[in-house]
Amino acid sequence: MSEPTQSDPTYEVRPVGWVRSSLTERHGAPRQADEGAPAARIDFRPELALAMADLRPGDRIVVLTWLHRGERDVLSVRPRSDPGRPMQGVFSTRSPDRPNPIGLHPVTVVAVHDRAVEVDALEAIDGTPVLDVKPELGPPSTR
Amino acid sequence: MSEPTQSDPTYEVRPVGWVRSSLTERHGAPRQADEGAPAARIDFRPELALAMADLRPGDRIVVLTWLHRGERDVLSVRPRSDPGRPMQGVFSTRSPDRPNPIGLHPVTVVAVHDRAVEVDALEAIDGTPVLDVKPELGPPSTR
């Protein structure tokens, strides 16, 4: 194995689209999609139409978001803001406060438009940048 | 819902660590972890020790990587480079070539050191930047 990298590279991410949702406040957002998140739409950049051209209703996908309200200097939190729980390192939690505030959202596609997809339940507020969309990893036969 | 955002923001990601692996060539890398990926280590930045302090052997986690060899202007690919398959939009594939080349790797922690964790099987080459680590989402009772 090589020695640890000494350089300090950074990388630039550019949203591929944005979440459109009735959720507008972080504190009103459910913590996970199965706790009552509403349906939502993802509007893609027009120039990325080809990248989303094969999404279909029924597809199980993972939406990667940039949790732009997250605090990036937070290294430990109380899970679910519960004062009865001990502090935990953020890599053991799904807190939006973390060094690179990337959210993972498993959802089902319910409708596909020219440059947008509708999904069943997404726990991200309106305007949240979307960084990527991937299929959920199925068994090898379906890859 | 609000109007589509007209501005063109970008965000900077800074690696929280790096993959240390016996895999050194992208073309030698298995396409998915269950196709023969080796065990690997993630070395974290020393100043992020608190963020990883609660990881434990046996934890199921998702490692988010920056696939730094990915080509970011690619919008469609032949899945698994199979010439018999039709071109597909990258958001319907797990290709490393995509606008924001972020990889998702579900793994199990097998050992924890001061500033590093060992994981069971990771399909990323040595030196791959790590952007985030999260617990796999379990049922509500365990959150």
* Percent of chain B residues topping a pLDDT of 70: 83
Res B116: pLDDT: 97
In this structure, is residue B84 part of a structural domain?
Answer: yes
pLDDT band of B140, cuts 50, 70, 90 = very low
Res A1: pLDDT: 45
Chain B hits for A98, CB-CB cut-off 8 Å, are 51, 132
Between residues B83 and A134, the one the model is more confident about: A134
pLDDT band of B7, cuts 50, 70, 90 = low
Of A2, A14, A106, which is closest to B100 when you measure between CB atoms?
Answer: A14
**Is B26 at the interface with chain A, CB within 8 A?**
no
In this structure, is residue B74 part of a structural domain?
Answer: yes
Is residue A130 a contact partner of residue A18, using CB atoms and an 8 Å limit?
Answer: yes
Query: Which amino acid belongs to residue A14?
Result: R
C-alpha span between B19 and B68 (Å, rounded): 12
Res A80: pLDDT: 76
Q: Does B42 score more than 80 pLDDT?
A: yes
**Is A52 at the interface with chain B, CB within 8 A?**
yes
In this structure, is residue A4 part of a structural domain?
Answer: no
Q: Does B49 score more than 90 pLDDT?
A: yes
Res A2: pLDDT: 46
C-alpha span between A70 and B5 (Å, rounded): 19
How far is C-alpha B136 from the geometric centre of its chain's CA atoms?
Answer: 13
Res B15: pLDDT: 98
Mean pLDDT is lowest, of A27-36, A102-111, B62-71, for A27-36
Minimum distance, in Å, between the CA of residue A2 and any CA atom of chain B: 7
- A113: domain CATH number is 2.40.30.70
Range of the domain at B75: 17-132
Res B2: pLDDT: 46
In this structure, is residue A7 part of a structural domain?
Answer: no
pTM of the model: 0.88
In this structure, is residue A46 part of a structural domain?
Answer: yes
- Beta strands (DSSP E) in B84-128 are 88-89, 102-112, 116-119
Q: Does A98 score more than 90 pLDDT?
A: yes
Total domains present in chain A: 1
C-alpha span between B114 and B96 (Å, rounded): 31
Res B138: pLDDT: 55
Q: Is B12 helix (H, G, I), strand (E, B) or coil?
A: strand
pLDDT band of A140, cuts 50, 70, 90 = very low
Res B32: pLDDT: 61
Res A16: pLDDT: 98
In this structure, is residue A32 part of a structural domain?
Answer: yes
Q: B62–A90: do the CB atoms touch at under 8 Å?
A: no
Q: Which ipTM value was assigned to this complex?
A: 0.87
Q: Does B139 score more than 60 pLDDT?
A: no
pLDDT band of B84, cuts 50, 70, 90 = confident
B5: left (phi over 0), alpha (psi -120 to 50) or beta: beta
Is residue B66 a contact partner of residue B17, using CB atoms and an 8 Å limit?
Answer: no
pLDDT band of A8, cuts 50, 70, 90 = confident
Res A37: pLDDT: 87
Of A142, A139, A143, A129, which is closest to residue A63 (Cα–Cα)?
A: A129
Q: Does A19 score more than 90 pLDDT?
A: yes
